[in-house]
Amino acid sequence: MSTIIAVAGKGGTGKTTVLALLTGYLLKKGKRPILAVDADADANLADALGLSGDRSLSTIGKAREDFFQTKGEVPSGMPKDAYFELKLNEVLIESRDIDLLIMGRPEGVGCYCFINNILRKYLETLGKNYPYVVIDNEAGLEHLSRRTTNDVDCLLIVSDYSLNGLRAAARIRNLAQDLKLNVKRFYLIINNAPSVLSEQFLHELGKLDIEVAGCVPEDTLVPQYDIEKKALLVLPEDDPAVVSMEKIARKILI
């Protein structure tokens, strides 16, 4: 059975960085292959995982739009659901250790209930082939709210070192609960954290009903790798962000 880990947080908190660091830890521990799903409209996961390229432009959103606009051209004798699943297979970016699906832009005009039902079934079936499925989500949990993923073993809510980040984290947790999403465990991760957290920040942190998995410290190499278009998976093992993620992963992967 696959373990599904989703990451959420307000914009700019470093969700993609956290997910890439966690993916690197899983690979180090031999948990491969991994299915990564980029459900953020700002789609940066491919770069962080070293999977960027021409194929990264292929998205589920584009496949869905193409299908919706040309559904009358389904090959004779092929059911619509089988045809759309074929299109989904075409946008899967494959590598030796990680396969990546990019959700792409939000839906346009029209009813997509049928297509979303196919997508849900496709993700459930595809996910069973991987020990871990990791999902880089957008702050509103839009794709989760559509039930394109029915079960999440662990939802990592990422906050930056700010009170606004903590308040956004609380709203995301509350939204997930209001939507009655099947999330087994919630964890909070503080990204870009200083070595010493202020008393006021700790006070606000203590008021949240979310277990803190740990802090990822400020790290000079992470932004440098981003500028140089290097995958975060090849950060040195003694890099502070990598070391902190190892501690976090040992806590959350139970």
Residue of 1 and 115 predicted with greater confidence: 1
CB atoms within 10 A of CB 181: 18
- Residue 140 predicted with pLDDT over 60: yes
Question: Who has greater pLDDT, 126 or 187?
Answer: 187
CATH of the domain at 216: 3.40.50.300
Greater pLDDT, 32 or 144: 32
If 0-12 CB within 10 Å is exposed, 13-18 middle and 19+ buried, where does residue 216 land?
A: buried
Torsional class of 6: left (φ above 0), alpha (ψ -120 to 50), beta (otherwise): beta
pLDDT value at 54 more than 60: no
Average pLDDT of the residues in 118-139? 84
Range of the domain at 41: 3-252
Give the range with max mean pLDDT: 38-47, 65-74, 97-106, 205-214. 205-214
Model pLDDT for residues 176-202, shown as the tens digit of each residue: 888 888 899 999 999 999 999 999 999
Per the structure, how many domains does the chain have?
A: 1
